[in-house]
Structure 1
Amino acid sequence: MVTRVSRLAIVSAMASVSTRWAGVPVARRKDERREMLVRAAFALFGEQGEAGLTVRAVCREAELHTRYFYENFTGTDELLAAVYDEQAAALGDVLARALDEAGPDPEARTRAGVRNVLRFISEDPRRGRVLFAEARGNEVLAVRRRAAQTGLLDGLIAMGPGPELPVVIAATMFTGAMTELAQQWADGRLGRDLDAVVDQAVELSLALHATTRKRLPG
């Protein structure tokens, strides 16, 4: 038998749900609920990994009914993809601004790129887990990670003097090395001295750049 206290709790909960979206257009309500689910998934995945990402856990974290989950996503894989895409876009914006401020000098651009990737991870370690640390074991993340690497590789080749083999090889090596550097930094295996890591990474990258230029015809 439902007690008076229980009835009041149910009525209160229903009233809270009905007023939560009062005055908000239907399309905007859906967008806001999607944003809440993505934020909740980022928090859970960033702290607990894939094991913590269940429909119930995400909805509990977002304080939403499960029906709102399926209003936006077919399952947790699709939600995880949205989490990755959001963090990747945020990192892309940070890099774009940093490179624009660095100007055309190769050393300045390399330093800005390396520093801002690692700093982006340091500012919120959950980002590193989403973008790098967990990508190897999850196919959804792995596919997106490969696409991101390919995009970076194509961008580096486009900025070079031409699609000659030495340029392509150097760009491929730098892309792989940068991804691994971010992975190791996210895992905490490179210590916490950002300046030291950046300095050494830039020195090695410039050495590769100089060797590549020597191998170009003419």
Structure 2
Amino acid sequence: MSAEQRLADRRERLMTAAYTLYAKPGFTATTIERLCSEARISNRAFYECFGGREELLQALHERCVDESLAVVAKAVEEAPAALDEKVKAGIRAYIEFATADWRRARIMHVEVRRSGDVLTLSRQRAVHAFARLVEDAVADFPPTVPLNRHLVALGVIGALQELLIEWLLTEDQPDIDELVDVAVHIFGRSLGTS
């Protein structure tokens, strides 16, 4: 392998190790030494890939967000033209994608908050990217309520995040279909689709 390929391989091994370790035991409990041991690289090699644990968390979070945005955008695009169908398709795609791997859901909805200021800007960019996705999905439909759609989009995204945190942290996990139904109801009432 070339030097670039070795660096890319180490970086990917660290991302894979962080995907599991940052989800459990969590970001604050995961040391660089543990990440390196899991990825089977040296501490020196770690710093050739990332400036620190925080930079690795940010890269991992951004990957999860980008993958989620792509899945949701595709679902909304392929949904029937009716607004309520687009909303339901986007919500179901997001919830199913996030919950298909609890590590992804945990990194995006729990560890992102537990990391303190580390991911504040990254989290804010992600929330605004999802808000734009919602706004774009409803742009062709006249508003039924005289509210700022950007603020409504931010509010419904916050509600969806809290539903996923509930799914992650409670012993009696709500069923995925129940999460979808509740999220669709919240979005529908907020955006005037139901």
**If the length of structure 1 is used for normalisation, what is the TM-score?**
0.76
Taking only aligned residues, the RMSD between alpha carbons, in angstroms, comes to 2.4
CA change 1:122–1:69 in 2 (3 A) is same
**Aligned residues: percent identity?**
30
Query: How far apart are the structure 2 equivalents of 1:103 and 1:150?
Result: 25
Task: Check the 8 A contact 1:190/1:197 in 2, yes or no.
Answer: no
Aligned to 2:139: 160
Query: How far apart are the structure 1 equivalents of 2:77 and 2:9?
Result: 32
Aligned to 2:129: 151
Query: How far apart are the structure 1 equivalents of 2:80 and 2:170?
Result: 30
Task: Check the 8 A contact 2:152/2:191 in 1, yes or no.
Answer: yes
CA distances 1:33-82 after superposition (whole Å, capped 9, x unpaired): 11111111111111210233211101100111111101111111111111
Q: Which amino acid aligns with 1:154?
A: R
Q: Which amino acid aligns with 1:119?
A: E
Task: Check the 8 A contact 1:121/1:128 in 2, yes or no.
Answer: yes
Q: Bigger relative contact order, structure 1 or 2, given CA contacts below 8 A and separation 6+?
A: 2
SS in 1 for 2:181: helix
Pairing of 1:42-191 with structure 2 (within 5 A)? 42-138=19-115, 139-158=117-136, 159-160=138-139, 165-188=147-170, 191=173
**Residue 194 (structure 1) aligned with residue 176 (structure 2):** yes
Task: Check the 8 A contact 1:45/1:130 in 2, yes or no.
Answer: yes
**If the length of structure 2 is used for normalisation, what is the TM-score?**
0.85
Q: Which runs of 5+ in 1 are unaligned?
A: 1-23, 213-218
Pick which of 200-209 and 79-88 moved more.
200-209
Task: Check the 8 A contact 1:40/1:62 in 2, yes or no.
Answer: yes
Q: Which runs of 5+ in 2 are unaligned?
A: none
- Report how many residues are paired: 189
How much has 1:156 moved relative to structure 2? 2.9
Task: Check the 8 A contact 1:98/1:112 in 2, yes or no.
Answer: yes
CA distances 1:112-134 after superposition (whole Å, capped 9, x unpaired): 22222222232111111110012
